Amino acid sequence: MILVRAIVWSSLFIAAVLVLLPARLLSGTGVTRPPALGAGQVAGIALVLGGSVLALWCIGSFVVLGRGTPAPFDPPLRLVVRGPYRFVRNPMYLGAGLALLGLAIFYGSAAVLAYGLALAVGMHLLVLLYEEPTLREKFGDEYRAYCARVHRWLPSAGSPARAGNDRS
């Protein structure tokens, strides 16, 4: 049942935020598919695929390790600190950002790039103002220790267990 809920919530988010809104931006600005695949399109495809794989890994980690979904109203029951969360605290948002960056590069779209940047600011504010306080309250010292060893946005160089304080 958790897997079904995770698929539903994740699909709705992906459809709205990563497919429908960017598609509206592209059509509204008159951007069409490039006539041929060049280096920019290949790089864009690689970023979309990499970001998508990262986001799917995160969703799977929430289901299997956390026994919950990525939705704030149906969160994991356990703090997830393994999988991609070993390296950075918000890999799902990074995956979404990479996918949008790839889309912007593929189409050469400044509008999609601007949308991605606005979404990144919104995600950062969501993390600071809602997610982190909620996780501190729910998981206490376990979450504080995790924050002390794993950065918020930038993967730590070297061993995840030895990552420095959160200043990223």
- Asked whether 165 and 154 are in contact (CB, 8 A), the reply is no
The pLDDT value given to residue 13: 79
Cα angle 33-35-38, degrees, rounded to a multiple of 5: 95
pLDDT digits (tens, 9 = 90+) for 29-72: 888 888 888 999 999 999 999 999 999 999 999 999 999 888 88
Would you list the DSSP string of 83-109? GGGGT-S-HHHHHHHHHHHHHHHHHT-
The pLDDT value given to residue 158: 54
Percent of the chain with pLDDT over 90: 65
CATH code linked to domain 2-162: 1.20.120
Q: What is the pTM of this model?
A: 0.84
Cα 110 from Cα 37, distance rounded (Å): 19
- Asked whether 20 and 27 are in contact (CB, 8 A), the reply is no
Residue 101, number of CB atoms within 10 A of its CB: 21
Specify the DSSP element, H or E, that contains 84. none
**Token duo for residue 167:** 């200043």
- Asked whether 79 and 143 are in contact (CB, 8 A), the reply is yes
Cα separation of the two ends of the chain? 36
